[in-house]
Structure 1
């Protein structure tokens, strides 16, 4: 943050953010730096992984 006083005030009012929140913001920031095509690929990958988890286990062979 550019304004350290503002950051300090937020910290006093809200407390420190959870580590999961900080990691989520880092991932969001990295995601927004991607090109639109890369964003689409990341979204597709996550959707595919989420769908696979919802399906019953399948044997690998």
Structure 2
């Protein structure tokens, strides 16, 4: 089952910039269009926790 298109329209990065997210249904991930963080989608539920995201500014150092 894929994420609901209406849900995808309102989802945003949980960081302070609240940028839109790009959904990759094959990888089951959401990627921030601004910071590049990658958030997993587990059992059709987006896990939008900064501590569990991959990539982005926190992991560049």
Instruction: Using structure 2 for the length normalisation, give the TM-score.
Output: 0.24
Higher strand fraction (1 or 2): 2
Whose radius of gyration is greater, 1 or 2?
1
